[in-house]
Structure 1
Amino acid sequence: MTLYNELLSEFHKYNAEILGISVDGVWRHPAFARDRHLHFPLLADFEPKGAVQDE
């Protein structure tokens, strides 16, 4: 995620966005993003855990 965060401006040049997906609940995302200085949204794949990855 840190690498994607560093390359975010390159993605924006192509009108692309980055979204992170986590199996943690949405209440954990602000601290995680702040700790890692992330500048893109995090989505929750919390319940049922991992449902997005199984698609």
Structure 2
Amino acid sequence: MQPSEMVMNPKQVFLSVLIFGVAGLLLFMYLQVWIEEQHTGNTSTFFS
């Protein structure tokens, strides 16, 4: 493998950071809703 191939261009870096950011945000929102449902004890409505 050429050393130049290992270096990602700014577009690839931006896309990977954007994808990881969106995935992390969705996971955080999901966990927040799940924790709130756990605290209220009303889990049946969330999983139905």
From the CA coordinates, give the structure whose radius of gyration is larger. Answer: 2
Task: Give the TM interval when normalised to the shorter protein.
Answer: under 0.3
- In terms of fraction of residues, the more helix-rich structure is 2
Structure having greater relative contact order (Cα 8 Å, sep ≥ 6): 1
- In terms of fraction of residues, the more strand-rich structure is 1
